[in-house]
Structure 1
Amino acid sequence: MKILQTIEGVHRIFDTQGSTPLLVTCNDLNDWVCKYDKFPKYLFNELIAAEFAKVFEIKIPETALIKVKSEHINLTKFPQLNLGWFDKVCFGSLYLDNSKEIDYTTMSMFEEKSFRDKITDKNDFLKIALFDIWMANEDRNHNNFNLLLYVSPEKLNFFYAIDHVNIFNSSFLDYGIAELTEDDSIIKTDLAKILFGKNKKINEIVDNLVENFYLYTIECENKLDEILSLVPETWNINIEQIRQRIIENLFTDEWKRQCETNFREFVQSFILN
């Protein structure tokens, strides 16, 4: 994973429900959404979820580690920041200019068939939902989609998944892992119904996603040590401890089967019925 550094002052703070990331420009001359060490272990959650999402072939913004220079933090302009949060390297996601975060204001667009037809990765919506069930991500739901609708240079629309600080039931696997409730899933949303409610191939789509799910999780387990090697030492993460917790929780056959069951039940209850 590449390491970048800021070249000018922080542009803005995103007013989100949780991590309030920064918009910064780095020495690659791109703008990045930068998350910092405000909450313990959230940076690790972002990194591990991003790397697993890549294995799942889920689209996410490009990621990098970012060093935010202290002289680029204007405490007069942003008094809510603390210089101590930036002693450690931060986690960055490439800022996508041609994107819009999905919320209820965008729902009317999806109701138009001509617009839905431009979305070339609709099935990724359900793949992301299954990924969230497996990762116990409690922060992608009807109140907070954490999805970007991105218009590529070819004018095609794609779903990008963002913000994974609340995987592992928001607890860093301190107490094991617990199933998501139906209210914690984007399957229980009007958008899911709009995208798939009239799709006659929904059962085939679900079967294919589940089949690939087992393959993806095996690949994630095979790549776990390689992914954990990306974690900066300054984050003070006990790598062996979290490695063991991930293996004992995410990669058991029992957990995977439970994830499949929950996924199928959510689809049946909130899309097919």
Structure 2
Amino acid sequence: MDRLYSIEEVNKRYETAGSRPLLIHASDMEFYICKYPYHWQDSKLLNEYLAYNFAKIWGLPIPEMKLIDLKREHLPAQMLGMQLNYISIEVPLISSLKIQGITELIDEIAQGYTSNVISKFDKHLLLKIALFDIWLSNEDRNTGNMNLLINLDSNILKPILIDNEKIFNSGSLFRPLLEITYEDSLFYTYLFRKVFGSRNRRNIKLIHEIEASLQPLCSLCFSQLSQIVEQIPYEWGYDRNQVQESLNENLFSEEWMGRVRQTYLQFAGLMYQRP
């Protein structure tokens, strides 16, 4: 992953309910939305890094990610506080390219989309994202907070993934994974129920095709795992061997794969039972 540095003073901090990222102008002349650690080995940095690399392998749309060194002189004193301090920027920050011309996908608004808009959504991609979240135990992409961006002017609507820090059950990869709840999955959203409509043969076939793709996609991730782990910044303080061992034991185990498939198919069925 490329490593950049800030070139001017930060003038925007997103006052979200979550990580309150910074907007940084970087040395490649692009703007990035940057997350910083609240404490030593804050899991959000590693979680975002791993989710990004796995999403790229899965072929999921996700903003380009870089590591950015924020210079101390570029962080105004008035922005400090609320878990941001100069210690926070002593490590490279995980940073997503700011994309122009897109908007956040909000499920309540999606409930009112016309049939013409709904027909433009890429069903294959939506199901892959849902499966990806179940595999990574992402509890933070749901009806209340979809963490997806969309360009509604496109002929084919392909949502873009953002904010993946809550994978591994909103915590760390160093503990066993638990299945997310149905309510915390995309299958529970108004969008999914509108896009997938009735339980017809075509939709059921597609659901099973995506389920069958889990093993090949995860095998591809596993084949590149050593390279991904090797590039984790040493400043984050992780033992790379421990990271790889934990991922092997939890994320890539046959037992977990079976639970992921079962959960995915269960949630797809529940989607059609909900009025």
TM norm. shorter chain > 0.5: yes
TM superposition score normalised by structure 2: 0.92
* Corresponding position of 2:101: 98
Alpha carbons of structure 1 residues 74 and 138: separation in structure 2 relative to 1, 3 Å: same
TM alignment of 1:245-260, pairs within 5 A: 245-260=246-261
Identity between Structure 1 and Structure 2 (%): 31
Corresponding residue number in structure 2 for 1:224? 225
Moved more, 8-17 or 23-32: 8-17
Please tell me the residue identity of whatever aligns with 2:96: S
Equivalent positions of 1:114-263 (< 5 A) are 114-119=116-121, 121-150=122-151, 156-198=156-198, 200=200, 201-263=202-264
The alignment partner of 1:174 has SS state of coil
Q: Structure 2 matches for 1:10-25, cutoff 5 A?
A: 10-25=10-25
Q: TM-score, normalised by structure 1?
A: 0.92
2:92 pairs with one of 79, 89, 110: 89
Cα deviations by residue, 1:90-124 (Å, 9 ceiling, x for unpaired): 11110011111111453255x212222343x3321
Q: Which amino acid aligns with 1:84?
A: I
Number of matched pairs = 270
SS at match of 1:260: helix
Contact map agreement 2:229 2:243 (CA 8 A) in 1: no
Distance (whole Å) between structure 2 residues aligned to residue 229 and residue 150 of structure 1: 35
- Which has the higher mean CA deviation after the structures are superposed, 24-33 or 195-204? 195-204
Please tell me the root mean square deviation across aligned C-alpha atoms, in Å: 1.8
Q: Take 1:155 and 1:31, find their aligned partners in 2: how far apart are those partners? A: 27
Deviation above 6 Å: which 4+ runs of structure 1?
none
CA distance in 1, matches of 2:108, 2:270: 25
Is contact 2:107–2:191 with CA below 8 Å preserved after alignment?
no
1:60 aligns with 2:62: yes
- Native 8 Å contact 1:64 1:91 kept in 2: yes
Letter in 1 for 2:223: N
Corresponding residue for residue 47 of structure 1: 49
Q: What is the Cα deviation at residue 151 of structure 1?
A: 5.5
Q: Contact 1:187 / 1:271 at 8 angstroms: preserved in 2?
A: no
One-letter amino acid matched to 2:75: I
After TM superposition, the structure 1 stretch with the greater mean CA deviation from structure 2, 209-218 or 171-180, is 171-180
